[in-house]
Structure formats: structure tokens, C-alpha cells
Amino acid sequence: MIRALARPAVRITQRRCASTSATTPAVQLQNIESRWATLSAQEQSSVAKHLEQIQAGEWTKMTTEQKKAAYWVAFGPHGARTPLTGPGHALKVAAGTTAVVGAAGALFLWIRSKGGEKPTTMTKEWQEASNEYARANKINPISGVSSEDYKGTGFVSSSKN
Amino acid sequence: MLSKLFNFFNFFPTAHCDVAEPWQLAFQDGASPSFDGIVDLHDQIMFYLVIIVIGVSWMLGTIIIKFNTRTNPIVYKYFTHGTVIELIWTVTPALVLVAIAFPSFRLLYLMDEVIDPAITVKAVGSQWFWSYEYSDYISDSGEPIAFDSFMVPEADLEEGQFRLLEVDNRVVLPVDTHVRFILTGSDVIHSFAIPALGLKLDAIPGRLNQTSTFINREGLFYGQCSEICGVNHGFMPIVIEAVSLEKYLAWLNEQLN
């Protein structure tokens, strides 16, 4: 199934064969990228077949216009390769995401504003006392607050008394 | 840096869980061989983790940068499978898993072994406190040492003590001694967890679970119930006070008299 999806909309056989080099003058290749969407399925098929015939011949004899058309039909953004989103889509997604995150932040701040006072244990004075308490009880003596030459702030995370 | 940022906005009060220090990212200092084993296993797994993160990031980055549709629209258009690469990305993770699994099993079974304990402590989880019983010691009246351990409310804390972590009765244990814990629950499932000792075991009603520890330094070790057990699940901490054998014997005498 994946292979079927990966198959291009118009399959072009890239065999180099010099035996068929007939061209159909009726098929117009100018500006194929702008006209492609306006063509009927039958016309698209005839263009593709025409290009297949050309490519079956000597590639060096192809004109620039034919090469451009062959490339566009094989790899251009049409059929299965049509972009899923239009221009400005990324901006819309970014704006939507920002709005949702912003709303969540506002909700968080609102809930927090309704919360009670901070516990008394959150004052700097208490937290400094916690450091002393931890040292007295040998808490985290290897790498933490009770270790030798400890440079960190330990349990002090508040700047207010 | 992170701590300063959050403190600047003053969004989050610091939770002193298990006496991890504020915004601590690494482990607490270990105090038992089990915990040392856990840290060793963590470091071993981290080795593979770093290699995998670098390898996957390199592959993803290469694909995104070099093979996107803008810079490389045609290449590998018909490339749908590759046997060699599929073998590599199947066999390599399997080998990595094996390399992780064996040290993990070894540690698991080592921790599971209760080696000739000198002391047995029964711990019973209840909504929402712990009860302890030292069944090895009987008082003159024939009663074992048994007590309940409740959290100390914020209003009763002495300055410097840890909010939501202090208890009225600590579990006192000697250092350098094999201690067995027998755990059960009286109502719902609780979990007896002390990170610094590498202990975490469910206390399940109708079932006795056992685990053991060997505390190798004196100190205070904080833990919390680690299985959601009701509205006050966050308010039934565990405190183990590890002391020298002499102090432990003095404490025992005090309890028995």
C-alpha cells in the first residue's frame, strides 16, 4: 500500500530506447505547470504519453521546454504531490498554538491568584534554618548541603523573609 | 539558573519532597548498597542512552537538512526498502536491550534477596499514617515496641523542619545492620518508599511484602507514601533515623521501659 502511495501520479518510463522518437505536434508543452490544472484527465494523459515517447528517444535531442515539461509532469506539485496546505498555513498553526498556550498560562495565573498564602516554611529565614537542621542531621552529606566545601544555597530558594 | 528563573516569577513553591534539595535534578545521596546499585545501573543505561540520542539525532538531522524536498527533490524517489539497513536497525536495538537487561536483572534479584536480617520492622500503611512494630523486642508486659507515625502539621513544626515530611514518631534503626521490613496495608494499597535507601515496596491489604536494607551512614532519611491512597495520600510521610548501635540500644531501652 505504501508503495502504491509513493507511486507518482503520472508514471514515466525512463528507458532509453532510440526506436520510438515520434512526436505529436498537437500537444502543447508551453507553461505546462500553469495549464496542468485546467487540462482534462484525458489531455493530461496525452501530454504524459507524448513526453514518454520523447524520453524514449535520445535525451540529448530534447529541447529545454520538453525537459522542463517532463520534469514538471514527473515531479511537480500535482496529483499525489499536491501540497496539503496553502500559503500562510504555518503562521496559522503558530498563532493557534500560541493562543492555546497563552490561554493555559492565563488560566494558571488566575488559579494561582486565587490560592492561599505561601506556607511559613517558604521564607528565607526558615529555609536558612532548614540548612542548619539538615547539617545537624547529616542530610545529603556527600554532594548536598551537609557535604564539605558545599557552595550551593541548599534549601534556600526564597529571597524574602 | 532554573531555580533563579522560577524564583524570579515566584510561580512555584519549592516542594521539599524526600529532602531533595530545591530544583535538584540528580539523585539524593545514597545510604545503602541497593541505592548504590541503582545509581550504577542508571549510569550504565545512561551510556547507551547518550549513544542512542546522538545516533538518532544525527540521522534525523541528516534527513531533515540534506534530504528535504527543497534541497533534494528527486533523490530516492523510488527508494522504498533496504534489507541491510533494516537488519541493522532491528538487531542493534535488540543487542542494546540485552546489554541493559542483564545488569538490570542482576540488580533486581540482588535487591530482592533478604539476607539474614538482624532486625525486623513491621510497617502497616493506613489512611493516612504509618504504624510500626519492632517484633524482635518484647517488654516486661509482653508487648512489642509499636507506635503510629503521623505527619507533623505545619503549625507544629519547629523552625527549619521540613513541611509535609516531618513525623511525630520516627523509625529509629542502627547503621551497618541488616534490617528487614515487612509491609502490609490495613485499608487500601500504600507504598513504602525511601529514595536515599533505594526502598520502594507496596503495602497491600491481605498480603505481607518484605524487603531489606543495610544503612551505611547515620542520618535522617525521608520518604513518602508512593501509591495514591486517598485524599491525604500526600500527608503520610516516612522518616527513618539511622543512628549508631549504642544510640539504638539506648532508644530501645527507652521504648521498652
Is the CB of A140 inside 8 Å of chain B's CB atoms?
yes
CA distance B142 to chain A (A): 33
pLDDT at site B20: 67
Of B19, B73, B154, the CB nearest to A139: B19
pLDDT at site A51: 94
pLDDT at residue A28 above 90?
no
Is the CB of B79 inside 8 Å of chain A's CB atoms?
no
* One domain, residues A123 and A154: yes
* One domain, residues A49 and A70: yes
pLDDT at residue B15 above 50?
no
Is the CB of A151 inside 8 Å of chain B's CB atoms?
no
pLDDT at site A161: 63
- Binning pLDDT at 50, 70 and 90, where does residue B41 land? very high
CA distance B112 to chain A (A): 26
Domain count, chain A: 3
pLDDT at residue A22 above 90?
no
Least confident of A111-115, B45-49, B171-175, B220-224: A111-115
pLDDT at site B75: 63
CA distance A138 to chain B (A): 5
Q: Given an 8 Å threshold on Cβ–Cβ distance, is B157 in contact with A121?
A: yes
Is the CB of B16 inside 8 Å of chain A's CB atoms?
yes
Q: Given an 8 Å threshold on Cβ–Cβ distance, is B13 in contact with A118?
A: yes
CA distance A156 to chain B (A): 8
Average pLDDT over residues B213-237: 94
- Residue A9, domain member (yes or no): no
Of A6, A8, A155, the CB nearest to B22: A155
Mean pLDDT of chain A: 83
pLDDT at site A126: 92
- Residue A47, domain member (yes or no): yes
Average pLDDT over residues A79-103: 93
Of A2, A121, A155, the CB nearest to B21: A155
- Residues from chain B that touch A6, judged by Cβ atoms under 8 A, are 77-78, 80
SS3 sequence of chain B: CHHHHHHHHCCCCCCCHHHCCCCCCCCCCCCCHHHHHHHHHHHHHHHHHHHHHHHHHHHHHHHHHHCCCCCCCCCCCCCCCCHHHHHHHHHHHHHHHHHHHHHHHHHHHHHHCCCCCCEEEEEEEECCEEEEEEEEEECCCCCEEEEEECECCHHHCCCCCCCCCCECCCEEEECCCEEEEEEEECCCCEEEEEHHHCEEEEECECCCEEEEEECCCCEEEEEEECCCCCCCHHHCEEEEEEECHHHHHHHHHHHHC
List chain B domain ranges: 33-112, 119-256
pLDDT in tens, B43-101: 999 999 999 999 999 999 998 998 887 887 766 666 788 899 899 999 999 999 999 99
- Residues from chain B that touch A138, judged by Cβ atoms under 8 A, are 217-220
pLDDT at residue A31 above 80?
yes
Of A119, A125, A142, the CB nearest to B163: A119
* One domain, residues A125 and A105: no
Mean pLDDT of chain B: 89
What's the Cα-to-Cα distance from A6 to each of A9, A41, A72, rounded to whole Å? 9, 20, 17
Is the CB of A76 inside 8 Å of chain B's CB atoms?
no
Is the CB of B9 inside 8 Å of chain A's CB atoms?
no
pLDDT at site A26: 67
- Residue A103, domain member (yes or no): yes
pLDDT at site B134: 95
pLDDT at residue B11 above 70?
no
Residues B134 and B122: their CA atoms lie apart, in Å, by 6
**Closest residue of A to B80, CA-based?**
A3
* One domain, residues A56 and A93: no
pLDDT at residue A130 above 50?
yes
Q: Given an 8 Å threshold on Cβ–Cβ distance, is B219 in contact with A138?
A: yes
Q: Given an 8 Å threshold on Cβ–Cβ distance, is A144 in contact with B217?
A: no
- Binning pLDDT at 50, 70 and 90, where does residue A8 land? very low
CATH, domain B119-256, list 2.60.40.420, 2.60.120.380, 2.40.50.140, 3.40.50.1100: 2.60.40.420
pTM of the model: 0.72
pLDDT in tens, B108-133: 999 999 989 999 999 999 999 999 99
CB B216 within 8 A of CB B32: yes
CB neighbour list of residue A158: distance below 8 Å, 6 or more residues apart: A122, A123, A124, A127, B7, B14
Q: Given an 8 Å threshold on Cβ–Cβ distance, is B160 in contact with A129?
A: yes
pLDDT at site A160: 67
- Residues from chain B that touch A3, judged by Cβ atoms under 8 A, are 80
CA distance B42 to chain A (A): 17
Q: Given an 8 Å threshold on Cβ–Cβ distance, is B19 in contact with A75?
A: no
pLDDT in tens, B148-183: 999 999 999 999 999 999 999 999 999 999 999 999
Average pLDDT over residues B230-234: 95
Domain enclosing residue A127, as ranges: 118-160
**Percent above pLDDT 70 for chain B:** 90
CATH 1.10.287.90 fits B33-112, yes or no: yes
pLDDT at residue A13 above 60?
no
